[in-house]
Amino acid sequence: MKPTEQSPGNHNASAAGAGAGTMKPGFHNTDGQGIAGHGSFFQQTNLSGADAAKATEWVRKQIDRRTLDLADRMDDIRDHMWELEKDGQIIVHRITDEHEPKMVKTLFGWDKKIPTKQLWHHKSCGQCGNIPGYPTSLLWFMNKFGFVPGKDYLDETDQTSCTAWNYHGSGIGNVESLAAVFLRNFHQAYVSGKQHGFELGHFFPLVHCGTSFGNYKEIRKYLIESSELREKVTKILGKLGRLVDGKLVIPEEIVHYSEWVHVMRNRIASELQTIDMSNIRVTMHVACHYYKMVHEDAVYDAETLNGNRTAIGTAIAEALGAQVIDYSTWYDCCGFGFRHIISEREFTRSFTMDRKIKVARQEANADVMIGNDTGCITTMDKNQWIGKAHGQNFQVPIMADVQLAALACGADPFKIVQLQWHASPCEELVEKMGIDWNKAKGDFEKYLKQVEQGNIEYLYNPELALGGKA
């Protein structure tokens, strides 16, 4: 697919490879044929190597202050959101002083509020299924800060997947369905405090997944800009009983968990850190759906990388005292690409090895690569084995920024960070941090025996997770 023919919001091609096929205007997928079964509109382009490189150069575009013309600014969609609320068309779920927000700057220098308490955890299907130590590390931090479950944060089960996986992976989703799911989930966040004795809006949504984050930001823009879309989904939400006074509920900010980690980084380092990280070499991979999609909303900090790259991830590593090492393919996608991982998996594996893992090892000699999204970490963590088949035995531990931070603060590498779920080798990193891997493994095996006997430890009261009162 050529970049000029990319449909709005469809970032399937972000992983690369536009040279494989092109989309013919006016064609529709009716026969299920074409390249990798993507439909007849995907056909071989037979581009030369030079032309293919030119066609995909946009994939490596640097989204930073050095390369963007920040004088050519777009409207801040939030300004229009306030107008809609003033006109009585929507209700804005506000971040109040009770949420103890921290103010950050986005790419365009706009202010963004990041709530630090009274958070409604919007979980990630991929994290819970593939990287369970990702969300548990986040909940562990909230417990360590003394946050009270059911009051300072809520991790209930009454939510659904964002369905962006379906949209980006298969293309059979549509804007109305995405918007309805977005509004349904954020309505639940808005009303969730009532059953715990609080007012509407007590808990503010904290989105765990980068894909959900990007999707929700984009959908919020469409909702605010399109009266037709609002009219359609209002009917849907009305049937679901998900309106408040007959109105849609739209959040003041779309907040990603890594932004919470970012604003809490100094407290994490000063109050909770127990391990010296000064000898750990860290490289960062930031999810495309975090900072390339609706890029005006991504967090930048003048004190992190001179404000030229998004601050999340890098800033927490620096706060912990680790060495943050640059590498030439920082801006590249991880290779996941949604559709690629389904139908052209070898492309994904080749891309993540050649453009990320190999480079991080050769150029940065990284002890660990951290990320901030489910798909990125899954891709780079689970596919390193394929390199051996091609003589590329490059291995780098892959984990989320919050997992590395939890390790630095004394979290158990098995019970909390759950590195046993990772396919990339984490033993050397853990040992270099001064943690005895074998002892931790032995302790975990003993704990599993206790679990078999029904002696289970919970990070979170399961009764609260079911939406009831403890």
Q: Is the pTM of this model over 0.75?
A: yes
Does one domain contain both 162 and 288? Answer: no
CATH code of residue 86: 1.20.1050
Does one domain contain both 201 and 336? Answer: no
Does one domain contain both 295 and 430? Answer: yes
Q: Is residue 463 part of a domain?
A: no
Does one domain contain both 95 and 214? Answer: yes
Does one domain contain both 131 and 200? Answer: yes
Q: Is residue 455 part of a domain?
A: no
Domain tally, the chain: 3
Q: Is residue 389 part of a domain?
A: yes
Can you give the residue range of the structural domain that contains 425?
276-450
Q: Is residue 65 part of a domain?
A: no
Does one domain contain both 393 and 359? Answer: yes
Does one domain contain both 288 and 417? Answer: yes
Q: Is residue 457 part of a domain?
A: no
* SS (HEC) of the chain: CCHHHCCCCCCHHHHCCHHHCEECCCCCCCCCCCHHHCCCCEECCCCCHHHHHHHCHHHHCCCCCCCCCCCCCCCCHHHHHHHHHHCCCEEEECCCHHHCCEEEEECCCCEEEECCCCEEEECCHHHHHHCCHHHHHHHHHHHHCCCCECCCEECCCCCCCCCHHHHHHHCCCCHHHHHHHHHHHHHHHHHCCHHHCCCCCCCEEEECCHHHHHHHHHHHHHHHHCHHHHHHHHHHHHHCCCCECCEEEEECCCCEHHHHHHHCHHHHHHHHCCCCCCCCEEEECCCHHHHCCCHHHCEECCCCHHHCCECCCHHHHHHCCCEECCCCCCCCCCCCCCHHHHHCHHHHHHHHHHHHHHHHHHHHCCCEEEECCHHHHHHHHHCHHHHHHHCCCCCCCEEEHHHHHHHHCCCCCCCCCCHHHCCCCCHHHHHHCCCCHHHHHHHHHHHHHHHHCCCCCCCCCHHHHCCCCC
At residue 40, the pLDDT reads: 62
**Would you write out the chain's pLDDT as a tens digit for each of its 470 residues?**
333 333 333 333 333 333 333 333 333 444 445 555 555 656 677 888 888 888 777 666 677 776 776 666 678 999 999 999 999 999 999 999 999 999 999 998 999 999 999 999 998 776 677 788 899 999 999 999 999 999 999 998 888 887 777 777 666 778 999 999 999 999 999 999 998 999 999 999 999 988 889 999 999 999 999 999 999 999 999 999 999 999 999 999 999 999 999 999 999 999 999 999 999 999 999 998 899 888 899 999 999 999 999 999 999 999 999 999 999 999 988 888 776 777 777 778 888 888 899 999 999 999 999 999 988 998 899 888 887 777 888 899 999 999 999 999 999 999 999 999 999 999 999 999 999 999 999 999 999 999 999 998 898 888 887 765 44
Looking at 257, 288, 315, which one is the last position of a domain? 257
Q: Is residue 436 part of a domain?
A: yes
How many residues are recorded in the chain?
470
Does one domain contain both 33 and 121? Answer: no
Does one domain contain both 135 and 13? Answer: no
pLDDT tens digits along 257-278: 999 999 999 999 999 999 999 9
At residue 42, the pLDDT reads: 60
Q: Is residue 464 part of a domain?
A: no
Does one domain contain both 132 and 40? Answer: no
Does one domain contain both 281 and 423? Answer: yes
Does one domain contain both 51 and 14? Answer: yes
In whole angstroms, give the CA distance from residue 190 to residue 184: 10
Q: Is residue 467 part of a domain?
A: no
pLDDT tens digits along 223-233: 999 999 999 99
In whole angstroms, give the CA distance from residue 370 to residue 286: 8
